Structure 1
């Protein structure tokens, strides 16, 4: 955690991270907003864009989360290169349009974190590159790469495609594109709830705005699990993904103090 970039006292708005989130769809409305809640604690600006049907819901939900800037999809697509990192996939629909958008994002070589539906939309893993972090759970890894999810295979695929893979599990495996490997043991059974992966993706993307892919993935996995462990001590398995997201900033501050 101590290796993460810290805001300079002289910095101005936007200099400590601008994150764009593409997510949400006809079924999963809240997933990208959980990611946004998590991310907004660590970067200056969080932008959110979704399909037209979801934008109305997003604006309504945003009333309780004023930090997030909701922008139309076409505007977001025009400004891809203006962001420090792009998070793609949380709750997004599996459609031809979204698949094409993902290809466009990957071809820009922009820093991006791919989660959830992004793995179904990623038709060609050869588009992956050093500025990509993948955050699959075991089944998503197996569908994407056609092999068993394991430490060894995560390391192999990260090397092959040059990306960073955060393979989620009881013990998280973080594999870097240049052969680095790290295991994260923070976390508990309460983190199997829906939404906790979206929170992790949001933290990971926020860190990636100003840090290396491997450092960002390692720090995000550790912090997410650490916050979950502290909640578990108070509430057992009854805590929610929303509670997890809102606890991150406090836990982070305690860790770096």
Structure 2
């Protein structure tokens, strides 16, 4: 699914109006009808509904929703934030229509007029939509804070008031919504972690915007969906053998961190790789051979940490390095040798990334088939601090192009930046995956997919999606709280089964 900017959304509205053709008032009615139907389906209409409207088109949506609910005999009170200026044409027309159904309309001109909101109340936030161009201030900021601090359930139309579509609202006043009803496609602001507490649960509603605009308009970012995953996923041929699915090498583990190697190894094998060799310190051979009998183990010369690389790197179709390897000087030298000698697709995670941040010169050795998988703190160590999620995303895209590699920034809606300038947000996963070892599992999955012949972009998209989908299955059966990283590997088979069933 394409992710459009605020400007592209406005252009899509205009394109629909011009090419369907349809009036802007009729398009507003479609949006209001979709929101009203959602409110009815979710049974929010059994409670008293307070609709707060601005004087722009978002407010017009709110007025139309109020009218449609009143027709359904739902109790509604409408509040209009008074700016002293006349509203948009469509706002004014909907206000005229609303007067035919109710007189319970209040104009807010001071804090004294703010209503007391109860726990059983439902608030519809139709104050501002995607047109915000500066942070909230004055009476409007006071109103947003009043609503946000109330015990009422808040449902935002299009976007929570105070949220920018394409930039951070981290230091600004923003409505805290329990639900956000947005239209047709996700906007970037609805996918970044820093806005999660303001958006609540996001629901996309179709309002019949013209499909030709979507099909012909380029988007710098996309959200992974089932169609994208189906286009990447390769089903196995009946006559295949293990040699068809690649030989992966994982360099992982150190004294006290062999568990990271085990988690990564199990995930790599569950990703479908044909063969797996683990390169680990001598102390890891018994735990690995016991816990992962399907993997071959080649031990390092050092007992407690990695100090060299395997002799014949050409044997391997893909390489992963980083889980639990620690930060010894000899390990840094081994990483340098690996980057100099190996030209296969490669995944660098965890301590491999930390070594890159310590030894800045190693970044020059990265080649075009590398995937870097930092979490936000590792990203900061590698590329410097950023003030907010939007800056981090922008920097990830810059660095992916500069280093000519794929960068996977792990987290809420994991972000994938590709060297060609394209970028992806993940649509699977949950907070239960915020647990030690989840990244080690992802490293194993990505390495296994690369070994099977997926290119770095395909492996990153498919691997991150499967990783999150396995997490969703695990959470559904175990709860988010009780999940461990090992559960992700155990539910990976169920994730693959879903792909197989939907790819027929």
TM-score normalised per structure 2: 0.49
Match of 1:65 in 2: 292
Match of 1:235 in 2: 478
Q: 1:154 aligned to 371, 388, 396, which one?
A: 396
- Structure number with larger C-alpha Rg: 2
Give, in whole Å, the separation in 1 of the partners of 2:353 and 2:492. 26
Q: Is the 8 A contact 1:7 1:16 kept in 2?
A: no
Matched, 1:26 2:269: no
**Are positions 1:140 and 2:367 aligned together?**
no
Q: 1:212 aligns with which of 455, 458, 462?
A: 455
Comparing 118-127 and 153-162, the one that deviates more: 118-127
Give SS of 2:254's match. Answer: coil
What is the alpha-carbon distance in structure 2 between the residues aligned to residue 13 and residue 223 of structure 1? 21
Partners of 1:53 and 1:93 lie apart in 2 by 14
* 1:129 positional shift: 1.8
Residue 76 of structure 1 deviates from its aligned partner by 5.7
Structure-1 separation of matches of 2:460 and 2:345? 13
**Deviation readout 1:100-133 (Å, 9 max, x if unpaired):** 1211221232211000000122222121121100
Correspondence 1:1-257 to 2 at 5 A? 1-2=229-230, 3-41=232-270, 42-55=272-285, 59-73=286-300, 77-107=310-340, 108-122=342-356, 123=359, 124=361, 125-148=363-386, 150-209=392-451, 210-236=453-479, 237-257=481-501
The number of residues matched between the two structures is 254
Q: Take 2:256 and 2:489, find their aligned partners in 1: how far apart are those partners? A: 21
Q: Structure 2: how far apart are the matches of 1:92 and 1:130?
A: 23
Distance 1:159 1:70 in 2: 35
The 2-side partners of 1:248 and 1:224 are apart by: 7
**Structure 1 gap ranges (5+):** none
CA RMSD of aligned residues (A): 1.7
Matches of 1:114 and 1:96 in 2, distance apart? Answer: 17
Equivalent-residue separation in structure 2 for 1:194 and 1:29 (angstroms): 13
Unmatched 5+ stretches in structure 2: 1-228, 302-307
The offset of 1:61, in angstroms, is 4.3
